[in-house]
Amino acid sequence: MGRKIDVLKSVMLIHEIAHRMDFSYLAEMFRFLGVFVCEGILLEDGFEDILTDKKGNYDVYVCVGSREITKKQADALGCTVEKYAWLINRLPQGTIYFNDILVKNGMKRPSADGVLPIPIEDCFPQKQLMDLIFNFLEEVLKLAYRENGSFKADKTWKDLIQVYVQNRLCFHSMNLQYYAKKPSIAAELAKDAFIQGYHQLTALAGKVQNEVVMHYKYTVLWCSVKANTACDYQKDILYFPINDLAEQCQQLCREYKGFTNAKILLGMCYEPSRGSGNEALMAFDSVLKEMNESCFASAVYYWMGKRFETFSGKEKDAAKCYKLANERKEKFRNYFKLAVIERNQGNYEKAIELFDAILDKLERKLDMHFADPLELEYAFKVYSQKCYIYSRINRYEKVIEMGENAIRIKEKEIGNSKYFNLFYGKQKMTYSNVLEERLKLSTAYRLLMETYRGLRNKEKEMEYMEKWKSVTGE
């Protein structure tokens, strides 16, 4: 009979845009440990609804930002000091403030420009960072276990944190999200990091004790699944046989009843296998029976939608999943899938409305030059899609506007990105090149060329014809 789980299952991480890298670092740490993460973005439409969501049942609330902000920070975030303070005061009683843990540990860090803090991974030596993350996790566990007084977390948690920190697993996990499905230096380095993490974790077998064991077993499988994902992107042979990995995930599910994240991991382990769609869907379906209405279900519906897309005649099932995903958590990837479906059906007005919803969600980050690589790629794809739609309905001025916006994302926004500066540091050019290689301008150039031809502007037609030829080789 499996063991029942009733301890730390989920956290709500609340942040504003300036602290988004801290959010990512802590979010990936919890995901590494097998804990659900729901994101709440201060100042974003719908944030107050998250605070009153009775279906979330989060074990712990964490604020990954400042209790107070300056006028300069408020201006950058598009709010007032008073509005920010009002939202902070509405956070649930018992919310853990990550900055308080920093202060308690005597750790200070500089700001890049008075608004954007330097990422914690770049501020402190690894030993100091490991102590910080362990002390933070200890506070989370104390709250989750409803412990009072001088609670001390099992020291073997620190062994898991050490693997996470030393191998920069957050950095590499984020890069797998940013540069998916295509070979790159990002996927190659991620593969090495997750394989190294796997071997370090397996060396801990027998040393991990008590409540840590379940999470330890999950971390081993999480690194395995991530390593296989990187292998898939690199077109390499999978490092871990899928059948073996699936059996280990199933064993974890049997051993710990109610460990829903293990069931999600089971579905994800089939991701590199084009022929295991039914197995993945069965795993995800079992997850939804336990958490159908929560924000965590959004990602599950999205993954199911992607699987249905690979099946002939399942387009309606895919569309239904994307709608259900967006109902539970509005995300630009859900909007994009729904918009493309509407475009393919010729519902151009609805498609544009959905594409615009993506730009609305990205507006503040783009204005701050603080969009991450995936967000820049989505902005590029949205402008390219709108350029195509407007060409179909002969809105020439809009074709030009959208085409030029797509070009701007690739030629200017990546180079001006504060996110790239902070996240990649001296490696900025390496990863900028990876993203630029993914953003293909051939469609935008062709549509601009054809549009200027229709407007009888020979000079601009020839300009974009030459650019189109330069990227297509024709």
Domain ranges, ordered by start, for the chain: 1-153, 331-473
Structure tokens at 221: 């499988």
Non-local (6+) Cβ contacts of 182 within 8 A are 233, 438
pLDDT the model gives residue 1:
39
Can you list the alpha helix ranges (DSSP code H) found in 98-211?
A: 98-104, 120-123, 126-144, 156-166, 169-178, 185-202
pLDDT the model gives residue 432:
98
pTM of the model: 0.94
pLDDT the model gives residue 294:
73
The DSSP result for 88-119, as a single string, is HHTSPTT-EEHHHHHHHTT----BSSSSSBPP
CATH class of 331-473: mainly alpha
pLDDT the model gives residue 112:
74
On the 0-12 / 13-18 / 19+ scale of CB atoms within 10 A, 442 is middle
DSSP assignment, residue 372?
-
Helix (H, G, I), strand (E, B) or coil at 209: coil
Q: Tens digit of pLDDT per residue, the chain (474 long)? A: 344 445 788 999 999 999 999 999 999 999 999 999 999 998 887 777 766 665 557 889 999 988 999 999 999 998 999 999 999 999 998 999 999 999 998 888 877 777 899 999 998 999 999 999 999 999 999 888 876 666 778 888 999 999 999 999 999 999 999 999 999 999 999 999 999 999 999 999 888 888 899 999 999 999 999 999 999 999 999 999 999 999 999 999 999 988 888 999 999 998 887 777 788 888 888 888 887 667 788 999 999 999 999 888 899 999 999 999 999 888 999 999 999 999 999 999 999 999 999 999 999 999 999 999 999 999 999 999 999 999 999 999 999 999 999 999 999 999 999 999 999 999 999 999 999 999 999 999 999 999 999 999 999 999 999 999 999 987
One CATH from 3.50.30, 2.160.20, 1.10.287, 3.40.50 for 1-153:
3.40.50
Cα 287–30–282 angle (5° rounding)? 15
pLDDT the model gives residue 7:
72
Q: At what angle do helices 260-269 and 297-309 cross, to 10 degrees?
A: 20
Non-local (6+) Cβ contacts of 67 within 8 A are 88, 97, 99
Q: Which strand (E) or helix (H) includes residue 374?
A: helix 373-392
Examine domains 1-153 and 331-473 and report if their fold is the same.
no
The DSSP result for 254-311, as a single string, is HHEET-HHHHHHHHHHTTT-TT-HHHHHHHHHHHHHHHTTSTTHHHHHHHHHHHHHTS
The DSSP result for 211-224, as a single string, is THHHHHHHHHHHHH
DSSP assignment, residue 37?
E
Q: How far is CA 268 from the centre of its chain?
A: 15
Rounded CA separation 20/42 (Å): 11
Nearest to 411 by CA among 330, 462, 471, 329: 471
Q: Contact at 8 Å (CB) between 245 and 226?
A: no
